[in-house]
Amino acid sequence: MTTLLISQHSSNPLEAVSSDPRNVRYRRVLREARARQVAAEEDPSPSSEDQISGYAPKDDMHAYWGHLAQVTPVISKVKQRYGRKAAEVTMNLNNNIVDLDDDMDSDDPLVLKDEPMGFDDEEDHDAEEVSVDEESDDEQEEQENDGRDSHIEDSDEEFTILSKSEEDRQMILDEIRDLEAAVPELEESYRLVDRLGTGTFSSVYKAVDLFYDKWDNRPWQCPHPPGSSAHPQSVAREPGSKIFVAIKRIYVTSSPERIKNEISVLEDCRGCRHVSQLITAFREKDQVVAIMPYQRNDDFRDFFCSLTIEGIKAYFRCLMRALRDIHSRQIIHRDVKPANFLFDSRTGMGTLCDFGLASRMNTTVPGPCLHLPASPSHPHGRLRARNEYDSEHIKKMQREARAKNHWPSDRVGYPQNDTRPNSKANRAGTRGFRAPEVLLKCGNQSGAIDVWSAGSILLFVLTKKFPLFQSNDDVEALMEIAAIIGSKHMEKVATLHNRTFSTNVPSVTATGMTWREFCEKQNPEIYTPPSPKPDFYPHADTPTSEEEHHQDLDNAFDLLEKLLHPEAVHRITPRDALYHPFLAQSVGDDEFFPHPFGKGVCAHLHRIDDVTEQPSVLIETEKGQTMKLLENGQGLAIGNQPCEFHQDFVFL
Amino acid sequence: MSTTIDNRAPLANRATSMSLGQKWARAASSTKRPHSPEAYIDAAVEFKRQRAIGPNVSAPKHKDKERRHTERAQKDKEFKDKYSRAFPTFTFHFDLSNLEPDTGLRKSLEARITQLGGIIDDFFSKDVTHLITNQKGEGDDDADKENNPKGAISKMILTVKSPSKSRTRVVVEDSPIYGLITKAMEWKMKTWSTAKLDSVLSRCLEVPMLTALNPSRTINALQLTNPVQPHRSLARLLQSERVHGSTERDPTQKRYDFTYFSRGSYWVLVEDMRQELATIAAHEYEVTKGRDSSVRGSWPVAYCHPHARGPFIPFDDREKRRWERTRREEMEQQDERAQEQKKLLRLEAMKRKARAQVQSKVPGDLRRSASMNNLHRRSVLEEQDFGEVLGDDNIDSANASGYLGSGTYVAASGNSVSITSTTGTTSTAGYSRSRPLPPSLRAQIGNEVTTSRKLASVTKDGDGKNTMGPPAYIPTRSGLRKSRSTNSLRLPKREEGSKPGYCESCRIKFDDFKIVGVHVSISQHIDYASST
């Protein structure tokens, strides 16, 4: 706790006391913030904790509601209740909120590294794409780290390209020119300054948003309350400051279906916390570009070994919140991995990006598996009732499969030219991060696959090794998991997904080992408390006590075991993970959960328009109640609070 | 009647629906009813008609339960009426060779047939209208269903001796039982199983069936009571085996159409539990026996050694060397960082001193540089009380050799050459040259990246003689050239081989991603991209 108190805001640029002329701007902001605060008759001597109310919510929120009142005729009385409530929450939470300190330029790069695979369709190109181009990855990550150690100001961010080699610079400039030629519209609103990364289906560029103030940014900024870790996103940017965006150029060779899927998924993810938000998108003939906020980030390899326990918690809180929010919208990311989770180790802020492989959950048609599809009450599905399947047949097949383990290997075979159809399960994702159900080609996958991937990230952090799984194909990946969890667990998982698993490989023992053993073996020094790292979030310089460290690790291992539960139906849901002792905070996550559209306290006033399929809300005007069509992201009800349109409604 | 209901459907295709008069004319053999027991040709014609009024049958689907119920009752009644009327014209022949010789079942069936006025003929002749056998006829399992167009087709094909089915006929002719059935078909008889006969009889007489209600169980019962006669003939089994492969076999016996793992190998096999899908995963690991009877192979083993790069990498000699190397490098890097820190401190101190020197403006000292080594030494020694040095500097630099007694003897050994040199280019020469490069740079220096191809400015003279000696004149270049840090130096781009590309719209693969740029400008892709 002490570490928290001491450290929270030391990276806060507002506090930086320095003769460095660069800080002039920061100091100006600080002065302004103080002035505002005094005007608001808040605490006259502002501490760093109050900076939140200093530069953000009240005035902006009020302005927002004022604007809403104008636009939507009679939400006449804009209640200030929300604002007051928010302030209370802030006061109460000061000690608990870990990732509030956000830079003035609170953006991080949105990087697409490898997007290795496609969907499993008729083509087998998917299988070929499994091999992730690690090399190009490395190089690119290198490029992104330039200037990591210094506080980067707007101007520095603008000229990151200068730190690259002549050759690269020329190539990037060529690419930028090419993109500007392909989508002339871009030049009107953005000035491209650098490339952030490239992938299989797209490349991402950094650009300055020339007319940030001209547009209505609220739908994607979303009114996350000050207590929420996603609040920095909602804070309006300083007028006059340079706003950076990430421009994702989706290659024209991508199928229209894939592009449509990504854009629609991103639209549906508006309002999700710690998820890269779609600002807008352009299309010029076959070229599609998506505009997202730019976010600064560090290479996972640079911090995963030195991350303190508090840093690990910050990382996984952000990740779990992102997963919770997207899964509640029936969206599976499918490609959760460090390269797709942009984490700023200085601020402890993370953002899930790259929804190129994301898919929607099948919640209706149960497959042949022994589990049911995801449902609101069971987000990872649940086991079928005993009378719903032919247990006799299953037992018989299990017995046969197990018997094979002991047969001489030249007696075990499989059909040569199999005429039976192949499994059509979606296996998009990255090797080393695929959950057992993906490897077993379960046709009814749920958000549990993202949770598994998150669990493997926790493995890296705890073993201090990355990467851990090096398989080249799905069979090998399955065997790697089997070598750890043991054949008994593997058989059970196989049965759950209507498969039989048999092997005589000696390294696959019956019982395997726990994930905890797996980590302890590889990282025997894990129990010695690490020396504090002032460079990284939470910038602590006091070491944690041994007992505290032990307790944290116990919790971490317990969570690890639950995240990497081989049976999807028993794997912990992101929501429960946020309430797990390792990640739990004094104010529950439900308080800040942005409900999917049409859920939450004012759900009965929300509707999807029958004709346009746009979200709409019931509002009161002078003429009585009317429906108002909304943009995606508007009408967001958070926690037990109503959405911005129903502030003055009374909910019991 | 179902057809009546169907015809009333408002959205049904009127053009193809039958007129009322037609329906009356065909009352006895309406579409939904089982076929009348007349000659087989009738069934064929019927079949055609059925096709013609096809759309009629598949009219609206929102029939409520009640209506369906009454419909079924109506159908049952119709069925009963029709068959009761037709039974006296039927002549049945029981296929003795195939039916169990003596069970109560046959007797009771015969009794029921006679009750309905049917005739039983023990002699198989043209007069027989129905052959009762449990031997499945050619074609589908549901050939029993006379309404089934597929069954009808296959029978028809057989009778017209279609060449396409010639292979099947060969099988058929081989079997005596098939002979009977083929004959029956040729003579346009109906072939019924006992179960079907039982079902028809029970429906007409409205009495419970003799065999169990579940038709599938009927067959089972028959099977059980008749272990000698399998319900499928050899020909049929062979045929099914040709299509699906065998079902009943000793699982330990090898099959010709299977891939087997090789002897003594390790393998993994993942199959669909329902066996509806192709093998999910199968992989064989080769085993190599080590000297000490240990086995080695490429299957993953969770070694989980703390010093290996990954859990599946054994910590063998090679890995150990690698680990030691990286650890050494890490240590060196740490040391280096510490040294770097120290160096920075020193430099800082020297700068301050230099500033102080400039400020003190000591006249007469023309030396342009001081021995850096000595400066170093001094800054290290006097880091703490550096303040004192600031004022009285000149004594120190005069005694740069460190030998205080020497007074002003400048040329003493140990003095930097640069002190006496007249050229301005070597002022810092010698500094840090002899220090070993940090390990992170050592690899880079090996790559020898040329940062500038220009030769030193002296070669500009034209006569190559001067290259080794000091330049004839002081280089005109004003200011020092900025050196390039090897740290931020980028190595030439690695040749990574071309990245493959794929156009998902045109479904064309490319070996090189760069070709994609060409592809998207060809007409096919543009057509695709610009089409709505």
Query: What pLDDT was estimated at residue B484?
Result: 58
Q: Which two tokens stand for residue A461?
A: 């952090």
Sign of CA dihedral A145, A146, A150, A151: negative
Query: What pLDDT was estimated at residue B201?
Result: 82
Which whole number is the average pLDDT over A160-183?
89
pLDDT digit string, tens, across residues A504-515 = 999 999 999 999
Closest CA to B199 of B100, B112, B71, B140: B112
Specify whether the CB–CB gap between B193 and B134 falls below 8 A. Answer: yes
The answer to whether the Cβ–Cβ distance between A483 and B301 falls below 8 Å is: yes
The answer to whether the Cβ–Cβ distance between B261 and A136 falls below 8 Å is: no
Q: Which residues of B touch A126 (CB under 8 A)?
A: none
Residues B51 and B181: their CA atoms lie apart, in Å, by 27
Q: Which residues of A touch B528 (CB under 8 A)?
A: 286
Residues B485 and B356: their CA atoms lie apart, in Å, by 29
Query: What pLDDT was estimated at residue A166?
Result: 86
Taking the CA atoms of chain B, what radius of gyration do you get in angstroms? 51
Closest CA to A639 of A278, A318, A313, A321: A321
A528 φ, ψ (degrees, to nearest 5): -85, 125
Residue B516: closest C-alpha in chain A: A253
Query: What pLDDT was estimated at residue A559?
Result: 97
Q: Which residues of B touch A475 (CB under 8 A)?
A: 268, 270, 281-283
CA distance, residue A244 to nearest chain B CA (Å):
25
CA distance, residue B509 to nearest chain A CA (Å):
9
Residues A446 and A435: their CA atoms lie apart, in Å, by 11
Task: Give the range among A213-222, A636-645, B208-217 with minimum mean pLDDT.
Answer: B208-217
The answer to whether the Cβ–Cβ distance between A413 and B272 falls below 8 Å is: no
Is B496 in CB contact (< 8 Å) with chain A? yes
Task: Give the range among A263-267, A526-530, B418-422 with minimum mean pLDDT.
Answer: B418-422
- DSSP state letters, A356-371: TT-EE---S---SSSB
The answer to whether the Cβ–Cβ distance between B268 and A465 falls below 8 Å is: no
Option in A404, A468, A507 nearest B299 (CB): A507
Residues 282-341 of B with CB under 8 A from A: 282-285, 295, 299-302, 304-306, 309-312
Residues A367 and A443: their CA atoms lie apart, in Å, by 7
- DSSP state letters, A314-345: HHHHHHHHHHHHHHTTTEE-S--SGGGEEEET
Q: What is the 3-state secondary structure (H, E, C) of B283-352?
A: EEECCEECCCCCEECCCCCCCCCCCCCCCCCCCCHHHHHHHHHHHHHHHHHHHHHHHHHHHHHHHHHHHH
Specify whether the CB–CB gap between B476 and B460 falls below 8 A. Answer: no
The answer to whether the Cβ–Cβ distance between B268 and A518 falls below 8 Å is: no
Beta strands in A313-375 (DSSP E): 331-332, 341-344, 349-352, 359-360
Is A476 in CB contact (< 8 Å) with chain B? yes
Q: Which two tokens stand for residue B372?
A: 């850096």
Closest CA to B491 of A144, A171, A168, A193: A168
Query: What pLDDT was estimated at residue A650?
Result: 66
Mean pLDDT (chain A) is 79
Specify whether the CB–CB gap between A458 and A560 falls below 8 A. Answer: yes
Tens-level pLDDT at each residue, chain B (532 residues):
443 344 444 444 444 333 344 444 444 444 445 454 444 444 444 444 444 443 444 444 555 677 888 888 888 888 888 888 888 888 888 876 665 555 677 777 888 888 888 888 878 788 888 888 777 654 444 444 444 444 444 444 344 444 443 343 434 344 455 577 777 777 888 888 878 888 888 887 777 776 654 444 333 433 333 434 445 567 777 776 776 665 666 666 778 888 899 988 899 999 998 888 899 999 999 888 877 777 788 899 999 999 988 899 888 888 899 999 999 998 999 899 889 889 999 999 999 888 887 776 555 455 555 566 666 666 666 555 444 444 444 444 444 444 444 444 545 454 444 444 444 444 444 444 445 666 666 666 656 656 666 655 444 444 545 556 666 666 665 556 566 555 555 555 555 556 677 888 788 887 777 777 777 777 777 777 777 6
Residues B29 and B35: their CA atoms lie apart, in Å, by 7
The domains of chain A are located at: 2-55, 68-95+588-652, 125-306, 359-568
Q: Which two tokens stand for residue B154?
A: 């296959």
Residues B347 and B241: their CA atoms lie apart, in Å, by 89
Q: Which residues of A touch B490 (CB under 8 A)?
A: 164-165, 167-168
- Which residues make beta-bridge pairs with B76? none
Q: Which residues of B touch A125 (CB under 8 A)?
A: 502, 509
Which whole number is the average pLDDT over A574-599?
94
Residues B142 and B151: their CA atoms lie apart, in Å, by 7
Residues A354 and A429: their CA atoms lie apart, in Å, by 12
Comparing A197 with B98, the larger pLDDT belongs to A197
- DSSP state letters, B1-47: -HHHHHHT-TTS-TTTSPPHHHHHHTGGG-TTSPPPSS-HHHHHHHH
Which of A140, A412, A417 to substitute to test the interface with B, most B CBs within 10 Å?
A412
Closest CA to B265 of A389, A68, A409, A123: A409
Q: At what angle do helices A487-496 and A391-404 cross, to 10 degrees?
A: 140
Q: Which two tokens stand for residue B447?
A: 């790559």
Residues B486 and B436: their CA atoms lie apart, in Å, by 15
Query: What pLDDT was estimated at residue A470?
Result: 84
Q: Which two tokens stand for residue A607?
A: 């509707």
The answer to whether the Cβ–Cβ distance between B529 and A285 falls below 8 Å is: yes
On whether ipTM exceeds 0.85, the answer is no
Residues A161 and A171: their CA atoms lie apart, in Å, by 11
Q: Which residues of B touch A514 (CB under 8 A)?
A: none
Which DSSP state fits A275?
A: B
- Burial of residue B227, with CB atoms counted within 10 A of its CB: 0-12 exposed, 13-18 middle, 19 or more buried: exposed
Option in B277, B285, B306 nearest A505 (CB): B285
Specify whether the CB–CB gap between A112 and A354 falls below 8 A. Answer: yes
> 10 Å Cβ neighbour count for A170?
11
The answer to whether the Cβ–Cβ distance between B302 and A163 falls below 8 Å is: no
Taking the CA atoms of chain A, what radius of gyration do you get in angstroms? 25
Choose the CATH number for A359-568 among 1.10.510, 1.10.10, 1.20.58, 1.10.3470: 1.10.510
Is A522 in CB contact (< 8 Å) with chain B? yes
Closest CA to A75 of A501, A647, A651: A647
Q: Does B2-244 carry CATH code 3.40.50.10190?
A: yes
Closest CA to A81 of A651, A652, A648: A648
At the fourth CATH level, which superfamily is domain A125-306? Phosphorylase Kinase; domain 1 (3.30.200.20)
Query: What pLDDT was estimated at residue A341?
Result: 96
Which DSSP state fits A514?
A: -
The answer to whether the Cβ–Cβ distance between A522 and B259 falls below 8 Å is: no
Which DSSP state fits A616?
A: E
Closest CA to B500 of B491, B508, B510, B492: B510
